[in-house]
Amino acid sequence: GAGVSQTPSNKVTEKGKYVELRCDPISGHTALYWYRQSLGQGPEFLIYFQGTGAADDSGLPNDRFFAVRPEGSVSTLKIQRTERGDSAVYLCASSLSGALYNEQFFGPGTRLTVL
């Protein structure tokens, strides 16, 4: 079946611009996660949604980062006034529910490059 998809696969932008990254989770998965992965490091948690609401946004680095999931399926990660340090692969994952034992299924990621 269809896995988690993310668009675009690559995004190049200029410093100061606004970007939106999209995640389509597996159908029926109520939990959705965003992570960020810098080169040579493991993914870092950004935000977790249970349904439409952000259950935990403690990983968002600052107020330039915002994410929404208005209908409880597709999610958009929004970054305002991008900085060169925002360059990374942004990963989205979904799971059947937020229960601990539900494995998280990851998408292929969006590679963001800020020039």
Q: Under the rule (CB under 8 A), what is the footprint of other proteins?
A: 4, 31, 33, 35, 41-45, 48, 55-56, 59, 91, 93, 98, 100-101, 103-109
| Residue partners of 42: CB distance under 8 A and separation at least 6 | none
Measured from the CB of residue 58, what is the shortest distance to other proteins in angstroms?
8
Which regions of 25-103 does DSSP assign to beta strands (E)? 31-37, 44-50, 53-56, 65-68, 75-79, 88-95
Least distance from C-beta 24 to other proteins, angstroms? 13
The nearer residue to other proteins, 41 or 62, going by C-beta atoms, is: 41
Residue 11 Cβ, how far from other proteins at the closest point, in Å? 16
Q: Which of 8, 10, 11, 15 is nearest to 115 (CA)?
A: 15
